[in-house]
Chains A and B, each alone.
Chain A
Amino acid sequence: MNKIQVETSINGESVEFLCEPQQTLLDVLREELSRTGTKEGCATGDCGACSVLLDDRLVCACLVLGAEAQGKEVTTIEGIATEEGLHPLQQKFLEHAALQCGICTPGLIVASKALLDKNPDPDEETIRYWLAGNLCRCTGYDKIIRAVQDAAQELAHPA
């Protein structure tokens, strides 16, 4: 078995790991590094539960090889909160009851953060189309959209 040694940065921390050439970043995060906040829902890029940022770009970790993380900055759900506490998106998801089972929540928060970082004032349609790659089976998306809208307000006009 010819494993590849990869040096990368995950949530600002230097990380080294070994992986098989065909192993995905998702498998590496979850099985090799036990960072299980990023979830597998389908492994074919159709559900967004594995959403991470790769050099600030929103991607599905199941569609990135572990080897491709070499030299890059990976941001996962574990890196969204800071020393100051929860990110406004996380807080608003809680306040708006925008999660029921919670399995899609890490992916949705990462995807929503990528949106608000790029577009601080998205309208409802923009939010829905941006989040179309994140399946939620529990909520019907209504409270999720409201949480993102509220978080955008909060970020634009901090209380």
Chain B
Amino acid sequence: MAGYAYVAPSSLDEAVALLSEHAGQGKRVQILAGGTDLLVQMRSVDNSPRTIVDIKQIAETNRLDIGARETFIGAAIASAVLNENADLKALFPGLLESADLIGSAQIQGRASMGGNLCNASPAGDTIPPMIVNAGICVIAGSAGTRELAVQDFVTGVGTNVLKDGEILLGLKFPNPAPRTADAYLRFIPRTEMDIAVAGAAVCLTLADDGTCTAARVAIGAVATTVLLVAAAADALIGTKVDDTALAAAATACSEASTPITDKRGTVKFRRKVVGVLCKRAAAIARDRASS
């Protein structure tokens, strides 16, 4: 189709300059990481021409750095690569599991967390765990770099805060404190290959006696964006994360959700199931944090 172009800048400066130039000229541009969302959308939703800017040659988007206090995950790194890193999986098991759940082995060979976030589907699997792990987006543009909490990044269905000329470089996560663990569960009708009908991520910290001292709960696919549910976290904090607390957290999640009825699920179903997922994920996080 006339008008498509493909460029693979080899440096961040080159990429930012390219994006800014296109923005300035009003030319349509699209950032390509793994391509597992973009190529599908180009085929099934909107095939109008644009310049595709492949960010996989840029050092910063491929950087994986497990530091003493925080971890940086480059926006273009494929989920399969992340899941081969035992240290990373030990630090953020729920987050890595969510990346491992996206699609198939083939999809994971290309799909990136950064892309999953930027695509901003309400059902994006990595977004709830990113949020409960207090992830920070590192964004580069012609004005330099800026940072933003993950929960502020997605603005609506398929939309995010990136301005013309900006690229998500990666996600930063504070390394978990001792006796802290995360978990993510999603509901799909088959065992694989489906988009989440509902999803729940929990990250919690336990004191030595098993009392929950901190918690974050995020639910996905049940609203236009992922929701951080303070009431669910409050239901867990100060408790031993027993069945009563879990039930209360589940109810809080069901009540906070604002799902729709579509080809993947009904309002009633999603409301109920997101609560079930929350309590099951919280139980897993609790068990992980205890061990």
Judge A-B direct contact (beta carbons within 8 Å).
yes
Q: Which residues of A contact B (CB under 8 A)?
A: 1-2, 4, 20-22, 24, 43-46, 48, 51, 54, 57-60, 62-65, 67-68, 70, 111, 114-115, 129-134
Measured between beta carbons, the chain A residues less than 8 angstroms from B110 are 57, 59-60, 63-64
- Tally of A-B Cβ pairs under 8 angstroms: 97
Cβ-defined contact, B39 with A21, below 8 A: no
Cβ-defined contact, A133 with B35, below 8 A: no
Which residue of chain B is the closest to A114 with respect to CB atoms? Answer: B105
Measured between beta carbons, the chain A residues less than 8 angstroms from B4 are 2, 20-22
Offer 10 A-B interface pairs, CB within 8 angstroms, sorted by A. Answer: A22-B47, A48-B104, A60-B106, A64-B35, A64-B39, A65-B54, A68-B56, A114-B105, A129-B191, A132-B104
Distance of A45 Cα from B36 Cα, bound (Å): 7
Which residue of chain A is the closest to B42 with respect to CB atoms? Answer: A22
B68 at the interface (CB under 8 A from A): no
B6 at the interface (CB under 8 A from A): yes
Instruction: Pick the most buried of B39, B42, B109, B193: most chain A CB atoms within 10 A of its CB.
Output: B109
Cβ-defined contact, A54 with B192, below 8 A: no
Which residue of chain B is the closest to A55 with respect to CB atoms? Answer: B109
Distance of A115 Cα from B109 Cα, bound (Å): 12
| Cβ-defined partner of A111 (8 Å) among B36, B54, B105 | B105
Cβ-defined contact, A63 with B40, below 8 A: yes
| Cβ-defined partner of B40 (8 Å) among A20, A44, A57, A64 | A44
B90 at the interface (CB under 8 A from A): no
Measured between beta carbons, the chain A residues less than 8 angstroms from B191 are 129, 132
Cβ-defined contact, B106 with A45, below 8 A: yes
Contact A133-B103, Cβ < 8 Å, known A43-B43, A63-B39: yes
Measured between beta carbons, the chain B residues less than 8 angstroms from A115 are 105
